[in-house]
Structure 1
């Protein structure tokens, strides 16, 4: 697999904004094609993903907290180390360096603009 920029979308099942955002983005064929052709896209459910994840040579685990929990990787990717804001978007260049970070809703137009900027790097 050749190196590509990575887009990580952190969300939760209970986040209404996340669901609306995902629905609108999935309907934008230009955005979907741009993402599929030039990026690795990771949809990451921050509170239900329980597998150990190896990322940038570190292992991250699920942190159980009673009947719920959160994945360590979600906390590591978030600037708010206590409770990430959802949706959370993390863009990495093909060398895995952070190039863009956004808490909260992303529009299809802004997403396309950011993808084009990053793919030009």
Structure 2
């Protein structure tokens, strides 16, 4: 019986670990890029945002998304209304109007979220291997919806898509493989 429980515990732990994105801080991701260049996928969320929680639960725990993100990106979770200080491009970004009493509800926007052009929650900000913003993608994304952006940015296809018309052609031709 002990062996069965031990095997079950090992299997459960392995399965649980396999279903998790390897989240790091923004500064860690920027540092990791210097050693091993990869793009960054940054989940910009707030603690009170319902669609942010759905994105985390339904999309960021999807096996296809987890595997693809862990292989091709440094993944960052960033509270757009939090109070952490972040050093980016030689500037320290903070949230000077942060109110600790509002930690679980609407608070002031962090300077970094404004700098990254985040205007709604959730927003997934994609950055290139040098930490430059590629694009902020607003709103809840299902795994197949997010797959389009994950693959487009990781393969640098976005560099050839400079008009809405070209994006529409790319979008229509894209065949999602992620289950969702």
TM-score range, shorter chain: 0.7 to 0.9
Instruction: Tell me by how many angstroms 1:70 deviates.
Output: 2.8
Question: How many aligned residue pairs are there?
Answer: 116
- Residue number in structure 1 paired with 2:127: 92
Structure with the bigger percentage of strand = 1
Of 12, 28, 42, the residue aligned with 2:46 is 12
Using the TM superposition, give the Cα deviation of residue 65 of structure 1 relative to its aligned residue in structure 2, in angstroms: 4.9
Runs of 4+ displaced beyond 3 Å: 65-68
Pick aligned residue for 1:52 from 60, 72, 85:
85
Q: Kindly indicate which of the two structures has a greater share of residues assigned to helix.
A: 2
- Equivalent-residue separation in structure 1 for 2:45 and 2:54 (angstroms): 12
Higher Cα Rg: structure 1 or 2?
2
Superposition TM-score, scaled by structure 1 size? 0.84
Post-superposition CA distance 1:10-30 (Å, at most 9, x none): 111110011011101133111
Of the two structures, which has the highest relative contact order with CA contacts closer than 8 Å and spacing of 6 or more? 1
Aligned residues: CA RMSD: 1.7
For 2:98 and 2:89, locate their aligned partners in 1 and report how far apart those are by CA, in whole Å.
Answer: 25
Q: Give yes or no for contact 2:46–2:80 (8 Å, CA) kept in 1.
A: yes
Are the equivalent residues in 2 in contact too, given 1:63–1:70 (CA < 8 A)? no
For the residues of structure 1 that align with 2:136 and 2:113, how far apart are their CA atoms? 13
Aligned pairs for 1:66-81 within 5 A: 66=99, 67=101, 68-78=107-117
Please, which runs of 5 or more residues in structure 2 have no aligned partner?
A: 1-34, 102-106, 157-180
